Amino acid sequence: MGNFVTEAFALLGVGLLVIGLRLYVRISTVGFRKLQPDDYLMVLAAIAYSIETYLAYSVGVLWKGLANNAMSDEERRLLDPNSEEYYLRVNGSKTQVAGWCTYTFLLWIIKASMCTFYLRLTEGLEFHGRIYAGFVVIFCTWLAVLFSILFACYPLQKNWQIYPDPGNFCQPAISKVDIFVTVVLNVITDIYLMSIPIPMLLKASLKPLKKAGLIFLFSGGIFVMVAGILRCVLIITDPINGAQQAGSWAVRETFVAVVTSNLPMIFPLISKLSRPVIGGIRSLTSQGFKGSAYQSGSEDLKQGSYRLPDRSGRDQRRGMGPRSVNPLTNFSFNESEENIITGRAGDETDHARSDAENEAAAGGPHSRGAGGILIQTSVQVKEMRKSQFPDDEESNIGDYYLVEQSRKTEEEALAKAKATSKKQARASAMINVSPSVTSRRL
């Protein structure tokens, strides 16, 4: 029993930490006043998770894992209503009912939070109909589960009746109605929620590794389903210890649900914190290669051999398709969750920048002066990095060298522009003065 208590509260601590990290990422990204309904739903989930853990602790420690199940008819008849065992079994059964209600409320609140999260990610897209239908599915299935818990055994007080035997439906620790209704509807809703983001990710023009990572992040419902099914099997196959099994596995299943539902939001923070370690390993393993590659790349840059991206936004060297307008598929391991929301605006900015860059390459209005040269050079630097190091998105000494080159190019262009303007001013002054001098001589 001591092991279970330690495990339950350790899982609670980790789960609350994960929710806290999610709120930290959101507040640091958009501010406290711009938190969305899914953030507040997750706060409510944290409260429900704490209550559920306490109820599971009560079942195992306060009530000794006892309820109105695992008793023969003779034992029920002989049990004294004034005895301690009778008291423990009655209160254990009442706690089981409360635990079922809290457990299902927590799972369905997490589902509602995820659905709200998808609603923000797909704003303006055709997936809104499926998401609104998801809200209906979540609400209806939660009502069905709650009614099965409260009304499968009627009247309610039969759930803690000892004698006569109230039957399996009125034994909340091992009630097959509660178990099967909850498991089936839990699996159905999780499958439906996963059917919203995964098809979009499968169709997105992303690198296979990134696509697989995103699908993994948004497939957390699989682990919740496995935990729920395992909990169901263990309770049914061990009816004697069913009360304790129900509390233990409810805590474990909800822990998995809390972590997997918040993982997409906190992954950018995890990636940011681990970036120095990964970057150090990369620099140690590829320092020599990068040095030679950047040296040759700078020579090509001076010769102007790098091409600018065309107006379609297609990266010809890497074989990628046009930029996606789907904000969900713009999710990056190295960007905050708020950048997902503004993905379409970012695409428009990228296209506008691409137009300016193309005009700079063609000698258009953006190419006049040192500013145009800086735009063209910076684009060449970016394109050279993409072609030679497509998987390396971090800054390093090669970037610094190339930026210095572009800065020097800009300074040289400014100096030449000033010199040219001075020569033009002198020439125009000589032209304007010559007629007057000639007339005086005449």
How far apart are the C-alpha atoms of 131 and 120, rounded to whole Å? 10
Position 300 scores a pLDDT of 47
Q: How many residues does the chain have?
A: 442
Mean pLDDT of the chain: 75
Nearest to 166 by CA among 153, 181, 178, 179: 153
pLDDT-derived band at 142 (thresholds 50, 70, 90) equals very high
- In whole angstroms, what is the distance from residue 331 CA to residue 359 CA? 29
Per-range mean pLDDT, top range of 346-360, 391-405, 412-426: 412-426
Task: Tell me what percent of the residues of the chain surpass a pLDDT of 70.
Answer: 64
Label residues 184-206 b or e (16+ Cβ within 10 Å = b): ebbbebbebbbebbeebbeebeb
Average pLDDT over residues 77-99: 95
Coil, helix or strand at residue 42: helix
pLDDT in tens, 49-58: 999 999 999 9
Does residue 171 have a pLDDT over 90? yes
Helices (H) and strands (E) in the chain, counts: 14, 0
Tokens representing 419 are 């010199």
349 pLDDT band, cuts 50/70/90, is: very low
Are the CB atoms for 354 and 292 separated by under 8 Å?
A: no
pLDDT single digits (tens) 371-416: 444 444 444 544 554 554 444 444 443 444 444 555 666 677 777 7
Alpha carbon distance 224, 194 (integer Å): 12
Question: What are the two backbone dihedrals, phi and then psi, of residue 317, each rounded to the nearest 5 degrees?
Answer: -80, -30
Which pLDDT score is estimated for 243?
63
pLDDT score, position 334: 40
Show the tokens assigned to 99: 């635990």
DSSP secondary structure string for all residues of 200-231: HHHHS---HHHHHHHHHHTTTHHHHHHHHHHH
- All residues at 6 or more sequence positions from 252 whose CB lies less than 8 Å from its CB, including other chains: 11, 227, 231
